[in-house]
Amino acid sequence: MKLVMLGAPGAGKGTQAKRLAEKYRIPHISTGDIFRSNIKNGTELGKKVKGFLDSGALVPDELTVDLVMDRIGQEDCRNGYILDGFPRTILQAEKLTEALQGKGGEIDWAVNVEVPDEAIVERMSGRRMCPSCGASYHVVNIPPKKEGVCDQCGAQLITRPDDEPETVRKRLEVYHQQTQPLIDYYKEKGRVLDVDGTKPMEQVFQAIVARLGE
């Protein structure tokens, strides 16, 4: 089973990807992990990636696809994989399709975890973290025993800059600009599996599994 995970920041697609990977015993693959692994191991592809990152440039689509294809060609991906955070652009999706077709394969499903923007803003702006011990909370879902105070070490909890409402809305704007074309791309191929991400995590997971029919 070869899956692509789609979903806005805070939609919960990463959590679902990990659970699906465990259930189907296939690797959960992110481009960030691939970059770090190749750089750490000093591969030729890793050296190229490091050169772009060190200069502050974006890693070109062609190189990113080469890295992904190298990763999914490994033995642990023989029965499938879950791509999380890739493809990010139409060009990457097209190049991935071409590369897979060259090997006689294709993506089975693009799992699109749908959550309205305002629900995501509410979710993310409710996050709190402890700057001292790193413990995570949420004002609604995982509240601390004492408001604004870490249960573990007693430090004052903070809102990360990334979780400020305005920042979240800007990230969502970029996401929609980049990802809506991707959703349309896979819909044209009849490969999109839409799931309601506003429901509890377990219900979302069960809905995806039911739709995959496995």
- Residues with a catalytic annotation lie at 13, 88, 127, 160, 171
Cis peptide before 9 (omega within 30 of 0): no
Distance CA 83, CA 172 (A): 20
Q: Are 144 and 137 in contact (CB under 8 A)?
A: yes
User: Beta-strand (E) ranges in the chain?
Assistant: 2-7, 28-30, 81-84, 109-114, 127-129, 136-138, 192-196
Sorted by sequence, the CB contacts under 8 Å of residue 170 that are 6+ apart come out as none
C-alpha torsion sign, points 88, 64, 70, 74: negative
Q: What is the DSSP letter of 58?
A: P
Distance CA 12, CA 201 (A): 8
Q: Are 89 and 61 in contact (CB under 8 A)?
A: yes
Q: Is 96 left (phi over 0), alpha (psi -120 to 50) or beta?
A: alpha
